[in-house]
Amino acid sequence: MVRTQIYLPASQHRALKREAKSAGVSMTELIRQIVAERIEGRQRVRVHDKEAVMRFVGLGDGGTGNTSEDHDRALDDAFRAGDLR
């Protein structure tokens, strides 16, 4: 690991401290988790090729869902479930 120093506004520091205490982790660990979630989230989206995303179209076939109206939620659910990996 590489030691890194950051400056936060007092309000963010207090909120981070509260959140870390609530989660039962150190502020440092919470920051690591937030950074990992942000960076890995972007990478997950980037690794999907066009064919994987196009398979999403098949998820809306049949059934009683409203995928055409609620496509953002459906696409997010499909990514989280691993259907588009």
Q: How far apart are CA 73 and CA 55, in angstroms?
A: 16
Number of domains in the chain: 2
**55 lies in some domain:** yes
Cβ proximity of 15 and 26 under 8 Å = no
Residues 25 and 57 in one domain: no
Residues 14 and 40 in one domain: yes
**66 lies in some domain:** yes
Taking residues 27-56, report their average pLDDT.
74
Residues 53 and 42 in one domain: no
Residues spanned by the domain of 53: 49-85
Residues 59 and 82 in one domain: yes
Residues 43 and 53 in one domain: no
46 or 21: which leads in pLDDT: 21
**pLDDT tens digit sequence for 59-73:** 555 555 666 677 777
